[in-house]
Structure 1
Amino acid sequence: MLTIFRKWYDRYLFEEESVLLLVLISVTLFLMMVLGAVMAPIVAALILAYLVQGVSTRMQSVGLPKWMGFIAAYGLFLAVFFGSILGLFPLVWRQLATLASEFPRMVKEVQAALSVLPDRYPQFISEQQIVDLIASVQRELAPAGQKLLELSLNSIPGLFGVMIYLILIPLLVFFFLKDKDVITGWLSGQLPKERPLLRRIWAEMDLQIANYARGKAIEVLIVGSVSYIAFLTLGLNYAALLGLLVGLSVIIPYVGATLVTIPVVLVAFFQWGIGNEFYTVLAVYLVIQILDGNVLVPLLFSEAVNLHPVAIILAVLFFGGVWGLWGAFFAIPLATLIKAIMNAWPVPEAYESITSDSTGDTL
């Protein structure tokens, strides 16, 4: 047993930088698990800073001075950030409240539809089975209603947290952009001077995360806007709420699109029943999903993410199970990080080539 461990150690931890990398990964995972809620605004601000930095760089490429590009990009970020909060979210909240008030009526319609099944299909289902099913659903909905009431009663303290985030995130984005060189320089000072492995991983991840964050922001904006316009044109209820859900669903690949289909289908069914309008909504929604998966995603992420679909699904399931929604949100960047570490991890026969290929990239 000791011989096997020794061979594994000699192969993967033969160089001191690989031990340092293992320690950094372990500390980061520990902090994410213990301080995940505290670090959430910091991580969100970092993602937003990547987006704003991309806009600033693009403005500088067309001839604007660095300081002017920074001010213009940050001003655009503030306009979009607070414009979405003050304009979009109140509309979505009103539609969500309306949907909640309509929920009891929807439940009654489902019960009425189920009650006729024993008469139509007595060979498959009995009246007692329907009674048991309705009773089971009611037992499940009662705790949900109690939790909703408790949530509404406890919403005031939560509002203070939201207000803090609304102030904290723009400030963090500002300082991450303004003092980017200072922050990265300080972090570099805490690491060994000779770090070819870390430089290689940093160079790849810096490009990957930046492209992924910007691509996802564009994808959310396009898919959400197109879905909202389509639902509004078709006269579907709660168009803003459903459009927002469809837009945000692209953050979680495969799983998000599957889950968001359920509310779209249910709202269309309860509004029109099975008819031409219902099938039209489904057809339009299917076209949006097909165009997103086969046209928009390849255009945006052809160079950003090179992961097999099975790896993406496993990453969503694993990180979503460990860290919930935040884990699902960052599943692809984390999977990309793991892939970059595996590709760059030194082995005895390849370490010499890694050190010779390292350039002046900074970390």
Structure 2
Amino acid sequence: MLKMVRNWFNRIFAEEETVVLLIILAAILLLILSIGHVLIPIIASVVLAFMMQGIIARMSGLGARRWLAIAVAYGVFLTVFFGVLMLLLPLAWQQLVTLIQELPTMLRKLQQALMVLPERSELISEEQIRSWMAAASKEVGSLGQYLVSFSLAQLPNLVAVMINIVLIPILVFFFLKDKQLILDWLAGFLPRRRPLLTAVWLEMNDQVANYVRGKAIEIVIVGVASYLSFSILSLNYAALLALLVGLSVVIPYIGAAVVTLPVVLVGYLQWGWGGEFFTLCIVYGVIQALDGNVLVPLLFSEAVNMHPVAIIAAVLVFGGIWGMWGVFFAIPLATLLKAILYSWPRPANNNDGADQAPL
């Protein structure tokens, strides 16, 4: 038994590069778990700079000078960054506060609408509905208290938020400007012969770049389309709901199902059963259908070739470990694991060569 384990260990870790790769992964994991909150500006800046690389590559392919491509990409980043920070977030926050203030009234309307259910079904009684509404009212009250305490508790962190707002644009600029310099410096710590690391890097650089940029474009398109549709229909809290719909695409399959509830509930409480409500449902269904059947295949045609079960499992696992950050990076992290497994050195004594098939 020990000999078999020893042979397996020697076969798996026979190459120096495999040990280096495991050390790198362990070091990154340790840093994230220990001082991840400190590294948030750096991690966010790396992701944002990674997203801007598509603009630089496209302009460089058209013959533009590198400094011009960097300037254009950085200008796009600054426009979007401060536009979201100064326009979208304040509007969404204002609508969120208004929604919380009106929740008790909305709950009373919902209770009146649900009171017809006992007349149509024996499975639901008035006492059950009243108990549900009482529990919901209690949760709404605690939610208001939590938001007040949360706002007060975050006041000491206001300086840190302001520092991050200043740091992130500066870091993004240097990551864009000195990308090759940073990569060359990091490569100096790696073995000179590194086919495994090269294969993993090429796989990650291709698929994750397409995924992150495509996901950002999908969020913008779905969010803007939802906001315009909700505004035309005069739906309450249009900016807040459109932001939720846009961000819901980050969580495949699950996000769209979860965000449908507040959209439908707000529309029903605003209009009741009527033409406006059914128009909202049709428009929202068209947006989701176009996103799933047109936009996603167009943006991610071959970017992430993973089974839906693997994607959902990655969202659940990494989301449970790192929260929203884990949800956002679930598919890139799953892609990393897939690239490592597919690129890992295979046994050399396999006669049929099946295990040594190229990726």
- Common fold, TM-score beyond 0.5? yes
TM-score, normalised to structure 1's length? 0.91
* Superposition pairs of residues 267-346 of structure 1, within 5 angstroms: 267-346=266-345
Cross-structure match for 2:23: 23
Q: 1:193 offset after TM fit, Å?
A: 1.1
User: How far apart, in 1, do the equivalents of 2:237 and 2:135 lie?
Assistant: 28
Deviates more, 1:342-351 or 1:247-256: 342-351
Q: 1:63 to 1:112 in 2, by over 3 A?
A: same
Query: Per the alignment, do residues 113 and 14 of structure 1 end up closer, same or farther by CA in structure 2, a change over 3 Å counting?
Result: same
Superposition deviation, residue 257 in structure 1: 1.1
Matching of residues 109-148 of structure 1 within 5 Å: 109-118=109-118, 120-121=119-120, 123-148=122-147
Moved more, 322-331 or 168-177: 168-177
Answer whether contact 2:251 2:315 (CA < 8 A) is retained: yes
Structure 1 residues 141 and 240: alpha-carbon distance in aligned structure 2, compared to 1, 3 A threshold? closer
1:14 touches 1:348 (CA, 8 Å); kept in 2? no
- Match in the other structure for 1:6: 6
User: Counterpart in 2 of 1:252?
Assistant: 251
Partners of 2:49 and 2:83 in 1: CA distance: 18
Give the whole-Å Cα distance in 2 for the aligned partners of 1:157 and 1:217: 31
Read off the aligned partner of 1:261 and give its amino acid letter.
Answer: T
Q: What is the aligned partner in structure 2 of residue 39 from structure 1?
A: 39
User: How far, CA to CA, are the matches of 1:122 and 1:89 in structure 2?
Assistant: 43
DSSP-derived class of the 1:154 partner: helix
What amino acid is the match of 1:8? W
Distance, in Å, in 2 between the alignment partners of 1:93 and 1:145 is 14
From the superposition, tell whether residues 86 and 133 of structure 1 become closer, same or farther in structure 2 (CA, over 3 Å): closer
Q: Which has the higher mean CA deviation after the structures are superposed, 133-142 or 161-170?
A: 133-142
User: What code does the residue aligned with 1:55 have?
Assistant: I
User: What residue identity is the alignment partner of 1:136?
Assistant: A
Instruction: Say whether the 8 Å CA contact 2:103–2:140 is kept in structure 1.
Output: no
Residue type matched to 2:255 in 1? G
Deviation per CA, 1:288-335: give whole Å up to 9, x if none.
111111111111111211111111000000000000000000001001
The answer for the alignment partner of 1:361 in structure 2 is none
Residues 56 and 73 in structure 1, CA contact (< 8 A), matched pair in contact too: yes
| Pairwise CA distance, 1:111 | 3.0
Which has the higher relative contact order, 1 or 2, with Cα contacts under 8 A spaced 6 or more apart?
1
Task: Find the aligned partners of 2:276 and 2:161 in 1 and give their Cα distance.
Answer: 39
* Matching residue's letter, 1:317: L
Structure 2 letter corresponding to 1:302: S
Partner Cα separation in structure 2 for residue 155 and residue 260 of structure 1: 27
Amino acid at match of 1:332: I
Displacement of 1:4: 4.1
RMSD of equivalent CA atoms? 2.5
Match status 1:179 vs 2:181 = no
Amino acid at match of 2:52: V
Map of 1:36-185 to 2, 5 A cutoff?
Answer: 36-118=36-118, 120-121=119-120, 123-185=122-184
Structure 1 unaligned runs (5+)? 359-363
State the TM-score, normalizing by the size of structure 2: 0.92
Alpha-carbon distance in structure 1 between the residues aligned to 2:270 and 2:31: 47
AA partner of residue 323 (structure 1): W
Q: CA deviation at 1:157?
A: 2.6
CA distance, structure 2, for counterparts of residue 350 and residue 259 of structure 1: 50
The CA distance in 1 between the partners of 2:199 and 2:301, in whole Å, is 21
My pick for the range that moved more, 48-57 or 225-234, is: 48-57
Contact 1:42 1:169 in 2 (8 A): yes
Give CA-to-partner distance per residue, 1:158-210, whole Å, 9 cap, x none: 43332122111111111111111121111111111111111111111111221
Inter-CA distance 101–131: structure 2 relative to 1 (3 Å threshold): closer
The 1:135/1:239 distance shift into structure 2, 3 A limit, reads: closer
For this pair of structures, how many residues does the alignment match? Answer: 357
1:73-123 CA distances to partner (integer Å, 9 max, x unpaired)? 2122112211221122222222122212211111222233344544x2573
SS at match of 1:190: coil
5+ unaligned residues in a row in structure 2: which ranges?
none
- Cα shift at 1:268: 0.5
1:41 and 1:168 in contact (8 A); partners too: yes
